[in-house]
Amino acid sequence: MTTLAPDYGDLHHHLARTRGVVLVMFTAVGCGSCRRMRAALAECPDLPVIEVDAGIDQALANEFDVFHLPALFAYLDGCYHGPLAVEPTPARIEAGLSALLAQPAQDPP
Over residues 26-41, the pLDDT tens digits come to 999 999 999 999 999 9
Tell which CATH architecture fits domain 16-101. 3-Layer(aba) Sandwich (3.40)
Q: Give me the phi and psi of 26, to 5 degrees please.
A: -90, 130
Query: What pLDDT is recorded for position 44?
Result: 93
Q: Give the closest residue to 102 by CA, choosing from 76, 78, 83, 72.
A: 76
Query: What pLDDT is recorded for position 16?
Result: 87
Question: Where along the chain do its domains lie?
Answer: 16-101
Query: What pLDDT is recorded for position 57?
Result: 87
pLDDT exceeds 60 at position 69: yes
Task: Give how far Cα 20 sits from Cα of 61, 76, 91, Å.
Answer: 23, 5, 19
pLDDT tens figures, 74-91 = 999 999 999 999 999 999
